[in-house]
């Protein structure tokens, strides 16, 4: 029997100038919840992100709301990344006249290009593809998951096509950004070459209007903002690699060759990845009422990928701030707006 919800429309504003975190986003949404003590919010409907409150099937309010928050987190990050990408691409386009190579904008999977990542319908597109392949060609779906480094099957001890499809869609979207960061690294290298040629052209022409050499500023910005994280930009860890690292960590604590999802979750708060530390900004435990540990672990892995994407976004954002002087030469600038997200809190009466 389907659950009847009381639906309360609300709107939440997020400043992209502020640092993003899942806990901050969850708190901002919770702050807008209805104040009626007889109502308990059990889900969110967010039309912008094609999220609808569940009223049947497997319903876990804590997990469902946190998944919705993760999607908002990803969407806001996407807003920042699009501004940065557009800016870098404009600078690359200006410098192309020096003979820079043509940048391949294909992501190499699902016929997607960089611009597709910013399509508001991307979730629905990936969801349709996953559902079709799940039903008709599991082998093809497994190839896609393997290419992106997503563990399959998603859950060790739970059989739920609905939850598995939901997880695969979320994971694919999170992992596509790993391919995007490689494109950022490519365009960064092309721009560096273009700036070197621009400096050289000004020097040879003894151009008195050239304000300053750009390459030293560019290099200093790389060193200060990205420096030791260059490998993360070029080869971010996959979900499989994170899961393997989690298993090894748990095995070292329990001194056993095999560990369960519950045991991994129990020591999760002590886990770190090299250089970046603990790759999650949810307070733990993720779901105090969890009864399906493998589903919770799968959600942790996907959220860790989203966190790593946000970590990388912040590095590039810091880099952009360090090269504003260069951008101004070419008439370019950047500003991060406030984004309003309309949503509906789905509640049940508790009296």
Q: What is the Cα–Cα distance from 320 to 183, expressed in whole angstroms?
A: 16
312 closest CA partner among 201, 211, 181: 181
For 146, other C-beta atoms within 10 Å of its C-beta total 13
Q: What is the Cα–Cα distance from 332 to 325, expressed in whole angstroms?
A: 10
pLDDT at 128: 94
Give CA torsion, residues 290, 292, 293, 294, to 10 deg.
-150
Quick one: which H or E segment has residue 34? Answer: none
pLDDT at 291: 67
List Cβ neighbours of 306 (8 Å cut-off, separation of 6 or more): 70, 73, 74, 77, 174
- Residues 53, 344 contacting (CB under 8 angstroms): yes
Cα Dmax for the chain: 81
Q: Which residues of the chain have pLDDT under 70?
A: 1-2, 57-58, 158, 289-291
- Residues 61, 37 contacting (CB under 8 angstroms): no
Handedness of CA 164, 67, 290, 252 (dihedral sign): positive
pLDDT at 135: 93
pLDDT at 74: 85
Work out the end-to-end distance of the chain between its first and last CA atoms, rounded to an integer number of angstroms: 20
List Cβ neighbours of 199 (8 Å cut-off, separation of 6 or more): 210, 213, 214, 215
- Residues 319, 225 contacting (CB under 8 angstroms): yes
308 closest CA partner among 183, 175, 182: 175
């Amino acid at each position: 029997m389907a659950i009847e919800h009381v639906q309360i429309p609300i709107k939440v504003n997020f400043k992209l100038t502020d640092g993003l975190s899942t806990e901050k986003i969850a708190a901002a949404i919770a702050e807008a919840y209805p104040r009626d003590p007889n109502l308990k919010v059990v889900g969110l409907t967010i039309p912008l992100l094609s999220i609808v409150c569940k009223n049947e099937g497997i319903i876990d309010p804590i997990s469902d709301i946190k998944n919705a928050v993760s999607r908002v987190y990803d969407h806001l990050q996407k807003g920042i990344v699009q501004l940065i990408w557009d800016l870098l691409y404009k600078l690359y386009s200006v410098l192309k006249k020096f003979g820079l190579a043509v940048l391949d904008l294909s992501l190499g999977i699902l016929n997607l290009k960089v611009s597709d990542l910013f399509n508001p319908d991307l979730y629905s597109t990936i969801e349709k593809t996953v559902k079709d392949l799940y039903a008709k060609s599991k082998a093809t779906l497994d190839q896609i998951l393997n290419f992106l480094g997503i563990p399959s099957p998603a859950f060790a001890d739970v059989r739920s096509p609905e939850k598995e499809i939901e997880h695969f869609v979320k994971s694919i979207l999170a992992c596509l950004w790993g391919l995007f960061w490689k494109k950022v690294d490519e365009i960064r290298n092309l721009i560096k070459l273009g700036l070197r040629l621009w400096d050289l052209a000004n020097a040879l022409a003894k151009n008195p209007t050239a304000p300053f050499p750009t390459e030293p500023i560019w290099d200093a910005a790389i060193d200060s903002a990205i420096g030791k994280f260059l490998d993360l930009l070029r080869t971010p860890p996959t979900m499989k690699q994170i899961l393997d690292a989690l298993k090894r960590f748990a095995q070292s604590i329990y001194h056993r060759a095999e560990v369960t999802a519950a045991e991994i979750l129990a020591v999760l708060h002590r886990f770190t990845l090299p250089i970046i530390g603990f790759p999650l900004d949810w307070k733990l435990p993720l779901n105090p009422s969890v009864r399906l540990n493998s589903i919770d672990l799968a959600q942790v892995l996907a959220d860790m990928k989203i966190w790593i994407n946000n970590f990388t976004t912040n590095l590039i954002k810091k880099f952009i701030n360090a090269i504003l002087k260069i951008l101004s030469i070419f008439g370019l600038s950047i500003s991060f707006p406030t984004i309003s997200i309309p949503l509906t809190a789905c509640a049940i009466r508790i009296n």
